[in-house]
Amino acid sequence: MKVTVEERPGLDQPEVIIRCPRLDERTARLIELLRLSDARLTGEKDGETCILDGAEVLYIDTVDRGTFLYTADGVYQTRLRLYELEEQLAGRDFVRVGKSAIVNFAQVRSLRPDFGGRMRLTLSNGEVVMANRQYVPAIKAKLGL
């Protein structure tokens, strides 16, 4: 694959042009990753709807029938269900760690096995999220183990 980058100071936003002999699975995956790299999530906080960059979200959790996005700056409630967010964030650094939680793997600073086959994930802000044992294989796969 040949990659060419041209700097053009007059552009408002980056423009990506993909030239290929045919649209194969590898190219389609590249297009999907480019589209998802600009993913935005919306959440409500203090009566305001806020637009969040997906990379800012540390983890997503469901509590008492509500779904919440946790960032370093605060907690935002979203109207989307956990499975909808999981679909929206598929192909990004998010991984399901429990029946009610998804973690941004890019925000994980350390991992440690825990009692009962579970795994303890320490996030960039020092918060700890527990991964249930049935989701540990997906985490290991993300690590390439």
Whole-angstrom distance, CA of residue 76 vs CA of residue 61: 10
Give the pTM: 0.72
Whole-angstrom distance, CA of residue 123 vs CA of residue 120: 10
Identify the residue with better confidence: 142 or 80: 80
Mean per-residue pLDDT over the chain, rounded = 88
Assess whether pLDDT exceeds 70 at residue 52: yes
Domain spans of the chain, in order of start? 40-143
Gap between the terminal Cα atoms of the chain: 27
Per-residue pLDDT, 101? 96
Is CATH 2.40.370.10 correct for 40-143?
no
Question: Radius of gyration over alpha carbons of the chain, in Å?
Answer: 18
Per-residue pLDDT, 27? 83
CA 131 to chain centre: 16
pLDDT tens digit sequence for 62-118: 999 899 999 998 999 998 899 989 888 877 889 999 999 999 998 999 999 999 999
Residue 54's SS3 state is helix
Nearest to 21 by CA among 1, 6, 7, 47: 1
